[in-house]
Amino acid sequence: MATPDLQTRVVHAVCSHDCPDSCGVLVTVESLTAPDGARTERAIKIAGDPTHPVTRGFLCGKVAQYLDRVYSPDRLLYPMRRKAGAPKGPAGYDHAKGREADAFERISWDEALGLIADRLAGIAAEFGPESILPYSYAGTIGKLGFGSMDRRFFHRLGASQLDRTICSEAGGVAFKSVYGIKLGTPPEDFAHAGLIIAWGANIHGNNVHLWPFIEEARRKGARLIVIDPYRTRTAALADEHLAIRPGTDGLLALAMMHEIFRLGLEDRAYLDECTVGASGLREHALKAERSPERAAEVTGIDADTIHRLALGYARAGRNGVPPAAIRLNYGIQRSENGGTAARAVCMLPLITGAWKRRGGGVQLSTSGAFPFNSNALEMPELMRASPLGREARIVNMSRLGHALTELGGSDAEGQGPPVKALFVYNSNPAAIAPNQNAVLRGMMRDNLFTVVHEQFFTDTTDYADVVLPAPTFLEVKDVQGAYGHLFAQISDRAIAPLGEARSNVRLFAELAQRMGFPEPCFRDSEDQLIDQALTADGPALFGPTFAGITRESLERSGHVPLAMPVNADGETLPFSTAEWFRTPSGRGELTPVPVFVPATESRSGAAARGGQYPLEFLPRKADNYMNSTFANIPRVRKMEARTTGLLEIHPTDAAARGLANGDLVEVFNGRGIICLRAQVGEMVPQGVVAARLEWNKLSGTNGHGGANVNALTSETLTDIGGGATFYSTLVEIRRAVIAPVST
Ligand code: SF4
């Protein structure tokens, strides 16, 4: 009698979650072929690739348990449509989780594609194609999953374009305004720094593969200083934590410049060779209002500390002292003045010439080093072939509530038709978009047709008319760069998609066929798309960084280093010479000078002066989730148990309101209200309160109807890049007056 054949193989994949580390992942897959030829396969192990120089063989806590997610009993495996008469919205806040399926009925892919194509065609005919709004972000950052066939589809349809601003746009535009390209200190080089400043960067929480390099530097004597209003895991492990007030980072950077210029510690030769605008910046920084004493009043960091910080920063890299590296993350740019703040911080290594030595500089992102051909993938020219015959309007994703409730209605901006169809993929806007009450009001509309492509029933699927099953990164093939290192990678499909899950590429290619789009580009395979992505299109850095990188070479090796320029010593030192800059002037641009303006919603801003909402609110990210992703995985939730359902508040603020640990409190402002338990302590400075982003339906103590922190955030945009201003939010708190609903 024949016996089953058991085979094991190891597949190279890449973690496609929105994280700078883009880890190389090894997936062990077991395949069983039964005597009758039937074959089953299952991923049985997931591990970091030990040969990847940044992954170095380990994964973060959440992805180390990724098979829980892949094989979760909660995975969506089939297309579904809302049952006739089933209302949109959670079935009931206390019972919604686990009962979502009651509102839906299973349908075939054929029915689902037909239904969606018919509805989109009808809406486009009646209201114009711009009434259709795609909504996606970085649920996957693989090039194909993030933006390829989906963009082609919506461009050809004539749908509104989405301005994908919600996470990093303010900082990215700011950095490019100074350097011309998003590039920074390679992570491995942090091991050579003598001073490391983690500025708005919770490295130990969500950039953990940088940590070993920092530890290596610390073993050699480097100091780690964390600048962050919240005492993050990273701050707790640092040599010094500066608990800055939210949204005041730009002024701290200017005060550091003040001291550096005042003491004559700038690198004049470097400034002359590599920058423009140094004298104007010097004059600006030396004004009295940028002095440490004045900055102390606003930032909450005392003048002596600012002086010491500036001195330590400027002296690093001189007289045999290893240089200073700043890890700037996207925290600081999510405030009203965040773009300017990012510009100011990014200028610091230009002033001291920190770039000239290995281990010096700043890293916000390395993504600009990857010249992926996004134009070839996304084909914006297809908009001309759409019924519009022109480029479609652009809707800012950070104002989704406005788009769903105001556009085409009372919209004074006259920006075209109302949104009548919303197509969500790679995102969970009901949980992560600011001004949540406006977003949910919009998504509740009966006359809004909503499609959601997802792996789980989320807060957003509660509002869907059609739900489509999406695969995890183990189930698709893709190519990926990184924004925290300099290796291109290919992610092979480790296992077949579970159930009837279909990739973004397949979904939108099939939908294009249903819509009758004749262009052959809608038949491109994944391999063809990968080849197109690798036909470099970005700015060359002295030469093509994709030299020698092809689909075949990536398939052979998994990861391949970019061909970065090197100096005579074989070192890659970004911005060490003028050739690196990609600004119009070909130099680091220090103009216009960064001007600090306090956020309207801050203790120094106009809104605070009204006095109604005096506390600065930090709607912070979890260490072990990826925004809202992973929040529904029990073992990952356990890792975040310390802050579940809590509002962290300083003892002074708690005492002023007669609150003690464990009290149920309402956190509110003019936009919304959430209910949490007070956790009194010094994780936040006086005047600041913090709570963690969570799924609405999983929010711990929610007497106010399944809302999360975004019930309180606004749709105000950043000064640069039109990004979201999550960290410019004022609130007040009071003892709760209603009983909590048990969950
Ligand atoms: S989330 Fe980040 S650290 Fe974790 S496995 Fe993915 S890329 Fe690596």
In the Cβ-directed half-sphere of 29, how many Cα atoms lie within 13 Å? Answer: 21
> What are the φ and ψ backbone dihedral angles of 732, each rounded to 5 degrees?
-130, 160
Rounded CA separation 164/395 (Å): 9
Q: Are 731 and 609 in contact (CB under 8 A)?
A: no
Residue nearest to atom 6 of ligand 1 (CA): 15
- 88 burial (CB, 10 Å; 0-12 / 13-18 / 19+) is middle
Identity of the amino acid at 86: A
pLDDT digits (tens, 9 = 90+) for 238-271: 999 999 999 999 999 999 999 999 999 999 999 9
Distance 309 CA to ligand 1 centre (A): 31
Distance 484 CA to ligand 1 centre (A): 11
Residue among 77, 22, 65, 140 at smallest CA distance from 428: 140
**Mean pLDDT for each 10-residue chunk of the chain (743 residues)?**
85 98 98 89 98 98 97 97 94 63 96 98 97 97 98 98 95 97 97 98 96 98 98 97 98 98 98 98 98 98 98 94 96 95 98 98 97 96 97 97 83 74 98 97 97 97 98 98 98 98 98 98 98 81 86 96 95 97 97 97 86 95 92 93 94 98 96 95 97 87 73 97 97 81 46
Sign of the CA dihedral with 433 first, then 435, 438, and 444 last: positive
Residue nearest to atom 8 of ligand 1 (CA): 23
Largest CA distance in the chain: 90
pLDDT digits (tens, 9 = 90+) for 70-117: 999 999 999 999 999 999 998 654 545 678 899 999 999 999 999 999
Q: Report whether the peptide linkage leading into residue 35 is cis, meaning its omega lies within 30 degrees of zero.
A: no
Q: Are 306 and 251 in contact (CB under 8 A)?
A: no
Write down the pLDDT at residue 180: 97
Would you tell me how many other CB atoms lie within 10 Å of the CB of residue 354? Answer: 28
Distance 514 CA to ligand 1 centre (A): 36
Index of the ligand 1 atom closest to the CA of residue 59: 5
Rounded CA separation 357/354 (Å): 6
Helix (H) or strand (E) holding 4: none
Q: Are 217 and 359 in contact (CB under 8 A)?
A: yes
Residue among 505, 497, 460 at smallest CA distance from 475: 497
DSSP string covering 140-179: --SHHHHSSHHHHHHHHHTPPEEE--TTTHHHHHHHHHHH
Would you tell me how many other CB atoms lie within 10 Å of the CB of residue 19? Answer: 21
Regarding the beta carbon of 14 and ligand 1, being less than 6 Å apart is answered: no
Regarding the beta carbon of 243 and ligand 1, being less than 6 Å apart is answered: no
Index of the ligand 1 atom closest to the CA of residue 21: 7
712: helix, coil or strand? Answer: coil
Residue among 161, 83, 705, 639 at smallest CA distance from 440: 705
Identity of the amino acid at 383: M
346: helix, coil or strand? Answer: helix
Distance 413 CA to ligand 1 centre (A): 41
Distance 184 CA to ligand 1 centre (A): 20
Rounded CA separation 706/466 (Å): 22
Regarding the beta carbon of 13 and ligand 1, being less than 6 Å apart is answered: no
Angle between helices 292-299 and 249-262 (to 10 degrees): 170
Rounded CA separation 526/453 (Å): 19
362: helix, coil or strand? Answer: strand
Tokens of 570: 């074989």
* Alpha helices (H) in 149-289, listed in sequence order: 149-157, 169-179, 203-206, 211-219, 233-237, 249-262, 268-274, 278-285
Regarding the beta carbon of 17 and ligand 1, being less than 6 Å apart is answered: yes
Distance 47 CA to ligand 1 centre (A): 11
Write down the pLDDT at residue 742: 47
Distance 61 CA to ligand 1 centre (A): 9
Index of the ligand 1 atom closest to the CA of residue 48: 5
Question: To the nearest 10°, the Cα dihedral for 79, 480, 720, 201?
Answer: 100
In the DSSP assignment, the letter for residue 626 is B
Question: To the nearest 10°, the Cα dihedral for 609, 615, 619, 622?
Answer: 150
Index of the ligand 1 atom closest to the CA of residue 62: 4
Q: Are 178 and 590 in contact (CB under 8 A)?
A: yes
Residue among 223, 317, 299 at smallest CA distance from 254: 299
Tokens of 739: 């009983």
491 to 11, 311, 456, 479, 630: CA distances (angstroms) = 9, 45, 22, 6, 21
Distance 592 CA to ligand 1 centre (A): 37
Index of the ligand 1 atom closest to the CA of residue 626: 1
Tokens of 550: 């092809």
Tokens of 101: 């399926």
Write down the pLDDT at residue 387: 96
> What are the φ and ψ backbone dihedral angles of 274, each rounded to 5 degrees?
-115, -5
Regarding the beta carbon of 60 and ligand 1, being less than 6 Å apart is answered: yes
The rounded percent of the chain whose pLDDT value lies above 70 is 96
Q: How many residues does this entry show for the chain? A: 743
Q: Are 13 and 471 in contact (CB under 8 A)?
A: no
